[in-house]
Each structure stands twice: as C-alpha cells, then as structure tokens.
Structure 1
C-alpha cells in the first residue's frame, strides 16, 4: 500500500482515479490545483504523484520545475494530459517526471505506470541540479490507442458507487438454473451468478472484474444494476 497524491482540476478525473487506486489498496489524497498540491506535499511526502499538466493557477510542468529546483522532487511524478504535445511530455521527463499518461487514461497504462513508479520510489534521487539533464527513462509511456478498459471522464458518472460484498465461494455457491423458462430470464439468472462469482473471486474489486470479463467499467456497473446485484452490501467502513 502506498500514499498517492492525485492533482487534477477536473472533479471527475480526481474521483475516478481515487476510486481505482483505492480499489488497488492505496491511500489517495486529492488536490484540484497547484496550491493544494504544495500544501499536500509539505504536509507529508507522498510515495507517488499523478500530476495534471493543464491547471488554471499553475500548470503541472511549472510546478514540477518548482519542486525540482527546491529539491522537493523526492518522489516519482507521473504527468497526465489530454492535450499535451510530445515535446511537452519530453520536457517534463527531462525535468524529472518519470512518465507521461495521455487522457483518456487506459486502465492498463495507469496501473503499469503506478507500479513502475512505486518500484523506483526507493531508488536514490539525483541532486536537483542534475534532474534537468535526465534522459527519458526506459519505462517512459507514450500515448497509445485506447483499449476496451479505457478510463474516461464518463466513467466517473458512476459516482464512486460501493462494491458488492464477496459471496460464498464454496460448493454451496454453485448455481442450478431452471431451463423451463423464457430464454431472457434464464440468461439474466446466469449472468447475475456469473458476475457475482467474479466479484467474489476478485475480492469485490470492480477494476479486476472489468479486466477479467472484458467490460468497460461503466458498462459493468450498469449491467450489475440491471441484473439486480445489491451494490450497497459491499459498503466499506472506515479503516
């Protein structure tokens, strides 16, 4: 588990990334601008920062330079943007950013970048004077074609719903289906059992179930609601 700071002026992006990273077991702190990001950085050093480039008060690249020149770039930083050019991404990497993610961010790219950042977090940090001379790291992520599990702002429309509680996985969980009924009803019963099985197998993680079943998260959420899966049963209590 890691402490991750997400800095983005879009509420939907902040909420979505927070939901995904919490699903993965991380503690997430949110900031909507550079001022809040500075406060969060001063209060407690995060293990990793996801930093948006285009923000209203101070852009992400300027904040990155500020942290670098002040010797505060002691944690991996992953830049995010839906409009940045390759030159901007390369500039940020030279300043000290570990990688760059293009919006809409795909689930695989997000988790891969976070995992790579946390693995390198314990590596020695070069002096601030040398950070600007760094070349792009081998793990530098270039924009790619979105895939089925793409995390778009639209996905945040789920509103951070709670997840279903794990169901029994023993022999008693095996289902039998009545075949003497309309095809639609029989199919709905099967699909409900199918998704409950995968939710239990993946510990209630909507992220992993989406990957496992090949559905986009918003589609998966709507499907569960349509099938009558009780999402309130998995409500988490503060730990």
Structure 2
C-alpha cells in the first residue's frame, strides 16, 4: 500500500472531478477539488497538497496561465500533472518547460494516471527539506535536554502536541498533531485498533493507512482478532 497523500484536482467538469476523486480515494489518498483557478489558489493558501492534477482548458483563467503564475511566484514546489482533451503536442511541451511534471490526455487511462501520480509523489518525496526558518516541530522539553526522570513525561503525546509550532507549513503541523493524537489513543486503548477507529470516527482500513502515513508504530491487540469482531479489509 502506498503512503497516503493529499492530491488537489483542478477541473471545471464536475464529472471529471467526481471520477478522479473516486479513483484517488480508492487508492487511499485525500482529495481536494477546485472547479477553477480561484478555488485552486485558495486551496494552495490553505496548505500545499502533495500533488496537483491541473486541467488546461478552464473558464476565466486556464491551467497554463495558472501554471505560469505559480512558476513566476516560486510556488511551483510540488509536482503538477496537466490534463486536457484538446491540447496539442506543443502545449504539452510548453507545460513541461514551465515546470509541469507530466501531461495526461483525456480520456485518461487508469493505469497511466496511477503511474503518473506514483512518479509525481516519488519526486515530491525527494524535495529538499524546508529552510531552517520553518523547522520541524520539536518540543521545548526536548530542546532543553530533559533529565532522565522527566524524559518519559516530556516525550508524551500530550506534551508534543502542546509544542507544535504555528510557524510551519499546515501539512507538517497537521501531521504532527495527528501523530500525537494517535500515539495518545494507542496508549489509552492498549493498541486496540477497533476502539481507536471508533474514537477517531474512521474505518479501520483508513486508520491503518493513516498510521502508516504518519509512521506511527502499531502494537497489535489480541482482542481485535477475537471472533465476532468486524474487520475492514
């Protein structure tokens, strides 16, 4: 199973948005949608996704113009895959020169779409770390080198949650919060995935994917395998 990612789908056709959302959800990803360039900009302001699927032909501002805008403003820091059912080879070449990772022709073949996304996410993972002005969340207690008697308390999920920085990208802050949240409930529920899924309001399959994405260790609870319990496959 691939790590879960947040993918922004930008397309003015509702049918395309719904189809891509269904496919990406089935692959275990989080999907954000935008019907035009304005909504796409708003999504970027709320927090950069891991990858963007961007349609070329849209009303008002087309995908090529938006791609150039992001490139000129230094915002083309995530993989962007262009989509179109009418573009020419010259358009595809121009898009890649601007900075697009790939170009998909509509109707998009499923396997070609999944390969392009896998390639894009792999490239995104190789991006350099954020500059030191936006460090990864590290608790104040950890920075002060706690004594051994305070170490267990200082490393607790609650303490780490309290020291999540507001000066980091939203995605990093969200991951740090969710990591602390699930570590807390893993300890409280003695590793019971059934009870944690109920507490978090998630399907167990989605919960497993999220814990893998967050790199949270899972300690198997034998009670989860007792007869009579529902198991999401």
TM bracket (short chain): 0.5 to 0.7
1:229 corresponds in structure 2 to: none
Kindly report which structure 2 residues correspond to 1:157-196, keeping only aligned pairs within 5 A, or say none.
Answer: none
Unmatched 5+ residue regions in structure 1?
126-202, 204-235
| 1:70 maps onto 2:73 in alignment | yes
- For residues 44 and 18 of structure 1, the distance between their equivalents in structure 2, rounded to whole angstroms, comes to 19
Kindly report which structure 2 residues correspond to 1:115-194, keeping only aligned pairs within 5 A, or say none.
Answer: 115-124=118-127
1:85 corresponds in structure 2 to: 88
Query: Which residue, out of 17, 23, 27, partners 2:26?
Result: 23
Q: CA deviation at 1:57?
A: 1.3
1:52 corresponds in structure 2 to: 55
The residue matched to 2:8 in structure 1 has which SS?
Answer: strand
Q: CA deviation at 1:33?
A: 0.2
TM-score by length of 2: 0.53
The residue matched to 2:22 in structure 1 has which SS?
Answer: helix
1:35 corresponds in structure 2 to: 38
- For residues 44 and 3 of structure 1, the distance between their equivalents in structure 2, rounded to whole angstroms, comes to 10
Summarize deviations over 1:118-165 as a string: whole Å, max 9, x none: 00002237xxxxxxxxxxxxxxxxxxxxxxxxxxxxxxxxxxxxxxxx
- For residues 118 and 126 of structure 2, the distance between their equivalents in structure 1, rounded to whole angstroms, comes to 14
- For residues 115 and 76 of structure 1, the distance between their equivalents in structure 2, rounded to whole angstroms, comes to 11
The residue matched to 2:28 in structure 1 has which SS?
Answer: coil
- For residues 124 and 108 of structure 1, the distance between their equivalents in structure 2, rounded to whole angstroms, comes to 25
Query: Which residue, out of 111, 119, 122, partners 1:108?
Result: 111
- For residues 127 and 114 of structure 2, the distance between their equivalents in structure 1, rounded to whole angstroms, comes to 23
- For residues 34 and 127 of structure 2, the distance between their equivalents in structure 1, rounded to whole angstroms, comes to 26
Unmatched 5+ residue regions in structure 2?
129-204, 206-231
The residue matched to 1:83 in structure 2 has which SS?
Answer: coil
- For residues 51 and 31 of structure 1, the distance between their equivalents in structure 2, rounded to whole angstroms, comes to 9
Aligned length, in residue pairs:
127
The residue matched to 2:74 in structure 1 has which SS?
Answer: coil
